[in-house]
Amino acid sequence: MPSTKEMLNRIYGLLYKNFGPQHWWPGETPFEVMVGAILTQNTSWGNVEKAISNLKRAEVLEPQKLLKLPTTKLAEFIRPAGYFNIKTKRLRNFLKFFMESYDGSVKKMEAVSLSKLREELLSVNGVGRETADSILLYALDKPIFVCDTYTYRILTRHNLCGEEADYDELQSIFMDNLPEDVKLFNEYHALMVRVGKEFCKPKPACEGCPLKILF
């Protein structure tokens, strides 16, 4: 029985060989990544893209401009991303935090330590662990591993964790067994989403998946 470390290396190798580099996050600027991270909560990326292009077309994809928008207008723009009422609130909560604590400056945010930033992000209503970690890794290049529903399926289906594993446990499995490397964390998570979208369905589970390690 290979060690967890060995399994994680095999999985990464297979994913990279099959799919190559993913060039994540699919956003042009760190701020766009932050907005996308909130909009993609439990939502397919295609719908998020529609919402983001609405914001771009209206030329409001900047923290100050988004905050100035009337709530109804903002909701209208992000409507395609689903849950638009609650996401309007969440986005505004984040924007307020971003403006009040960091003047809307990515540079100022980057200067703060990972643990302090993570705590601050998690204190924003509407920003949970996955969203916070996505912002930290993909917008701010901080070394933290992002987990999600695909991560969960891949780990459980390869017997790397139990069905009851929560987010922190999934994250520890990666962070305790991989070198602390922003580039690796970035690519690994992106590759899991890539294979996940295609093959890690609830059912039929794993059909045709190139990751045929244990199942």
Partner DNA sequence: GACCAGGCACATC
Partner DNA sequence: GATGTGCATGGT
Which parts of this chain interact with DNA (CB under 7 A)? 24-26, 36-37, 40-47, 50, 79-80, 82-87, 124-132, 134, 138, 148-150, 167, 193, 196-197, 200-203
In whole angstroms, the minimum distance from the beta carbon of 50 to DNA comes to 6
Rama region for 103: left / alpha / beta (φ>0; ψ in -120 to 50; rest):
left
Residue closer to DNA by CB (options 132, 160) is 132
- 130: which 2 tokens? 């996955």
The residue among 126 and 143 lying less far from DNA, judged by its C-beta, is 126
Closest approach, Cβ 150 to DNA, in A, equals: 6
Q: How far apart are CA 180 and CA 187, in angstroms?
A: 13
- Output the smallest distance, CB 14 to DNA, in A: 19
In angstroms, give the least distance from the CB of 146 to DNA.
7
Cβ proximity to DNA: between 9 and 76 the closer is: 76
Q: 187 near 24, Cβ under 8 Å?
A: yes
Closest CA to 128 of 171, 70, 176, 178: 171
**Tokens for 14?**
């297979």
